[in-house]
Amino acid sequence: MIYLDNGVSVFSGREYRCDPKRCARNCVNLVSHGHFDHVPSSLSQAIVTSEITHAIVESRAGVKVERTTCEHVDLLDSGHVPGASMFLINGDKKVLYTGDLCTREKYFSPGAKPVKADVLIIESTFGKEKYVFPPYHETVKAMKDWAEDNAACGKHTIFYAYTFGKAQEVIAAMEGNEIFTTGPVMKVNAVLKKFGYRLDAEMLPEEPGEPSIIVAPAGGKRDPVLKKYLIAGARTASVSGWAMDRGMMYAAHTDTAFPLSDHADYQELLDFTKAVSPEIVYTLHGFSKELAKDIRTKLGIEAVPLKKGHLTLSNFQ
Ligand SMILES: [Zn+2]
Ligand SMILES: [Zn+2]
């Protein structure tokens, strides 16, 4: 039985909670990665998570967290952000919970690899046909070219990217340039460097100098130092899968946008599902209805969107 309430609950021999809002007692609490919408607000119980996610969660939440393992759960790379895991729960049935998923090769991950499972719980953030991203290296090249053009015009380049995951991806992709960033990103970098990640970014100087590349959190426009660069005429870009929506750069008030994503696109979600070849699929987040419909019609696999309070009696007894 699978249902959505305080994360995704899976009963298979015992009770598992995938990305619970609050850690629950008497069940196995699984935390897929260190983005705040996946980290429990109460961390009073031990969590099953990767070593990197554990360090990120402790650093970002500012509390000590107990980490444990479960003999019935395999942790597999979900390709989303450093340390992100999918969970293969080996109960009465094999249940694969992807968390946030990326199957594309990126700087820090070869991408998630599908494994066979009876039940698949897959994220569907970009589960609509129009979201098919251009190849990763094409986007990175376009970003580098744009930054070069800006420098040639004497302008700074600011890439707005999420503090954890996307910011590090952009820093790594822009390797070979001098890169500056702000405090919150430096804090995450310090944690990842302990695990051997190469992240060559320095703290943003108080006063703008020669044209440079800056990676700043998406909501960082209020940063007083960054403001000085904006006043000096810095050019700005959003870095997000939503750049596929033409209106996005206007909504984000940036000069341009690049579709570099930490998520699988529509086609990659379908390809992954096909390779897992489950009996049933539950879709979660974003375009869950649309993806479930296309899994049914295009792949011939039973699929339903997982909705809050929605109790699903699957093939478990
Ligand atoms: Zn995420
Ligand atoms: Zn998420």
Question: pLDDT by residue (tens digit) across 128-181?
Answer: 999 999 999 999 999 999 999 999 999 999 999 999 999 999 999 999 899 999
**Strands lying side by side in the sheet with 256-258:** 202-203, 179-181, 213-216, 157-160, 235-239, 256-258
Same domain (yes/no): 126, 269: yes
Same domain (yes/no): 11, 95: yes
Tell me if 317 is assigned to some domain.
no
Mark the residues whose beta carbon lies below 5 A from ion ligand 1.
35, 100
Same domain (yes/no): 126, 142: no
Same domain (yes/no): 279, 239: no
pTM (two decimals): 0.94
Same domain (yes/no): 160, 117: no
Task: Spell out the residues 6+ positions from residue 253 whose beta carbon is closer than 8 angstroms to its own.
Answer: 236
Task: Look at residues 237, 258, 279 and tell me which one is the last residue of a structural domain.
Answer: 258
- Expressed in angstroms and rounded, the spacing between residue 263 Cα and the centre of ligand 2 is 9
- Expressed in angstroms and rounded, the spacing between residue 207 Cα and the centre of ligand 1 is 33
Same domain (yes/no): 45, 105: yes
Bridge partners, 94 (sequence order): 90
Q: Which ligand is the nearest neighbour of the Cα of 164?
A: 1
Give the range of the structural domain holding residue 173, as residue numbers without chain letter.
136-258
Per-residue model confidence as pLDDT tens digits over 202-234: 999 999 999 999 999 977 778 899 999 999 999
- Expressed in angstroms and rounded, the spacing between residue 35 Cα and the centre of ligand 1 is 5
Burial 105-122 (b: 16+ CB within 10 A, else e): ebbbbebbebeebbbbbb
Q: Which of 309, 307, 314 is nearest to 284 (CA)?
A: 307
- Expressed in angstroms and rounded, the spacing between residue 317 Cα and the centre of ligand 2 is 30
Bridge partners, 68 (sequence order): 48
Q: Which ligand is the nearest neighbour of the Cα of 261?
A: 1
- Expressed in angstroms and rounded, the spacing between residue 102 Cα and the centre of ligand 1 is 10
Q: Domain tally for the chain? A: 2
Same domain (yes/no): 39, 97: yes
